């Protein structure tokens, strides 16, 4: 009986933690990480501030966890989009259109994930996930070079430059009144030309 209760307690804690993280992401979607404090989260999630500290040591850790969950979804979406299409051109075009579409459907979240000035804990996570994006692009480039669809190139440098270029191209336009199609089209053109297509 005691054992079952432990399971129940554990399940309840996991559910509570999930509820807190979903509430926290909602705050970031509305106003970036600047909108996420222990106070705003307590209000949003309808719990006491003390309760929050049982789940997250401090705001930096909380922000990093929200960042990780949201970014893992984005990386998975990119990885998934990369499987659509028969050629590197088709697949890269699809990935970029998807990336821009997702960013523009939740512009404050995209800004928060890519560029908002935040705690160093989040900065560290950013570097980690940029390397993951770079690995995905490296794999695509390697395939293209192997099949002869792409010319030989320094894949490490080119993949990194693509990751940085895509992110930065979104940061400006997200805060300016550019049309989604314009950004996606310009970015697709930029990247395809950059890799020799």
149 binds a copy of itself (CB under 8 A): no
Q: If 0-12 CB within 10 Å is exposed, 13-18 middle and 19+ buried, where does residue 34 land? A: middle
142 binds a copy of itself (CB under 8 A): no
> How many Å apart are CA 180 and CA 28, to the nearest integer?
22
Please identify, among the stretches 11-19, 37-45, 140-148, 179-187, the one whose residues bind a copy of itself according to the rule CB under 8 A: 179-187
Provide the minimum distance between the beta carbon of 127 and a copy of itself in the complex, in angstroms, as a whole number: 6
189 binds a copy of itself (CB under 8 A): yes
Report which of 50, 82, 75, 176 is spatially closest to residue 126, judged by C-alpha positions: 75
Which of 120, 146, 148, 177 is close enough to bind a copy of itself by CB under 8 A? 120
> How many Å apart are CA 164 and CA 190, to the nearest integer?
12
> How many Å apart are CA 194 and CA 129, to the nearest integer?
22
Phi and psi torsions of 144, nearest 5°: -65, -40
Please state, as a whole number, how many other Cβ atoms lie within 10 Å of the Cβ of residue 146. Answer: 9
153 binds a copy of itself (CB under 8 A): yes
> How many Å apart are CA 37 and CA 26, to the nearest integer?
12
117 binds a copy of itself (CB under 8 A): yes
124 binds a copy of itself (CB under 8 A): yes
55 binds a copy of itself (CB under 8 A): no
Provide the minimum distance between the beta carbon of 32 and a copy of itself in the complex, in angstroms, as a whole number: 11
> How many residues lie near a copy of itself (CB under 8 A)?
47
- Site of interaction with a copy of itself (CB under 8 A): 115-124, 126-127, 130-131, 134, 153-154, 156-158, 160-169, 171-173, 176, 178, 182-183, 185-187, 189-191, 193-196
């Amino acid at each position: 009986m005691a054992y079952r209760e432990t399971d129940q307690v554990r399940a309840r804690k996991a559910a509570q933690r999930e509820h807190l993280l979903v509430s926290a992401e909602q705050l970031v979607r509305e106003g970036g990480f600047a909108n996420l404090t222990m106070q705003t989260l307590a209000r949003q999630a309808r719990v006491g501030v003390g309760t929050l500290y049982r789940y997250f040591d401090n705001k930096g850790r909380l922000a990093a966890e929200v960042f990780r969950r949201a970014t893992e979804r984005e990386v998975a979406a990119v990885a998934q989009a990369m499987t659509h299409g028969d050629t590197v051109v088709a697949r890269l075009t699809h990935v970029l259109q998807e990336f821009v579409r997702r960013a523009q459907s939740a512009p404050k979240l995209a800004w928060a994930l890519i560029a908002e000035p935040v705690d160093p804990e989040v900065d560290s996570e950013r570097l980690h996930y940029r390397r993951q994006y770079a690995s995905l692009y490296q794999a695509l480039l390697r395939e293209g070079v192997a099949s002869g669809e792409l010319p030989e190139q320094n894949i490490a440098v080119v993949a990194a430059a693509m990751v940085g270029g895509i992110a930065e191209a979104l940061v400006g336009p997200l805060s300016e009144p550019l049309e989604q199609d314009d950004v996606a089209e310009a970015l697709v053109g930029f990247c395809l030309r950059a890799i020799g297509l």
